[in-house]
């Protein structure tokens, strides 16, 4: 019986270690992506030293708001997924779907507000470049990672 307790403790420890390691790794990847994004923005927008601090202070503040809306949308989707698995009624399913629609609209609005908040710091050309960059960054990053993986496997 003592061995059983030790095994349970060891498995619990390993599980928590793996979870925390994965969480740290995920945060490291997010931080690297954010650093890359900042470098690319500085380059694309041709921000001078005076505007970099102001721009990224406002950018970070607005990005937090967008991320909060993204997190809420993800939670709503998880709730709907759980409801589907639990075979809930049609009325509750419709409420959850409407909640997702509302969260999706809130995410789009937060994105638009982010862009508008940054407009005052940029000229029209920089603002246009920002909008294009924001919509294309993740797609281009994913494509680059896939291409890198394909080259590695060749």
* DSSP string across 83-119: HHHTT--HHHHHHHHHHHHHHHHHHHHHHHHHHHHHH
Whole-structure pTM value: 0.74
Q: Is 7 within the bounds of a domain?
A: yes
Q: Which domain, by its residues, includes 38?
A: 1-45
Number of domains in the chain: 1
Q: Is 31 within the bounds of a domain?
A: yes
Q: Cβ contacts of residue 122 below 8 Å, gap of 6+?
A: 45, 55, 130
Q: Is 68 within the bounds of a domain?
A: no
Task: Identify which has the larger pLDDT, 101 or 151.
Answer: 101
pLDDT at residue 51, rounded to an integer: 87
Q: Is 154 within the bounds of a domain?
A: no
Q: Is 53 within the bounds of a domain?
A: no
Q: Is 10 within the bounds of a domain?
A: yes
Q: Is 26 within the bounds of a domain?
A: yes
135-150 pLDDT per residue, tens: 998 888 888 878 877 7
Contact 85, 30 (CB under 8 A): no
**Model confidence at 1: pLDDT above 50:** no
Task: Identify which has the larger pLDDT, 132 or 25.
Answer: 132
**Model confidence at 11: pLDDT above 70:** no
**What integer best gives the mean pLDDT of the chain?**
85
Q: Is 84 within the bounds of a domain?
A: no
What mean pLDDT comes out for the span 100-113?
Answer: 96
For residue 7, name the pLDDT band (cuts at 50, 70, 90). low
pLDDT at residue 16, rounded to an integer: 54
């Amino acid at each position: 019986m003592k061995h059983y307790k030790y095994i349970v403790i060891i498995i619990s420890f390993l599980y928590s270690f793996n979870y925390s390691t994965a969480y740290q790794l995920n945060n490291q990847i997010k931080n690297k992506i954010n650093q890359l994004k900042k470098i690319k923005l500085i380059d694309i927008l041709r921000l001078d030293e005076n505007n970099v601090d102001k721009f990224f202070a406002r950018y970070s503040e607005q990005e937090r708001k967008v991320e909060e809306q993204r997190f809420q949308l993800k939670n709503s989707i998880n709730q709907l997924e759980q409801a589907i698995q639990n075979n809930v009624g049609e009325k509750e399913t419709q409420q959850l779907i409407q909640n997702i629609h509302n969260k999706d609209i809130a995410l789009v609005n937060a994105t638009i507000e982010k862009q508008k908040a940054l407009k005052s710091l940029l000229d029209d050309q920089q603002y246009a470049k920002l909008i294009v960059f924001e919509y294309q960054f993740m797609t281009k990053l994913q494509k680059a990672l896939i291409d890198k993986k394909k080259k590695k496997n060749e």
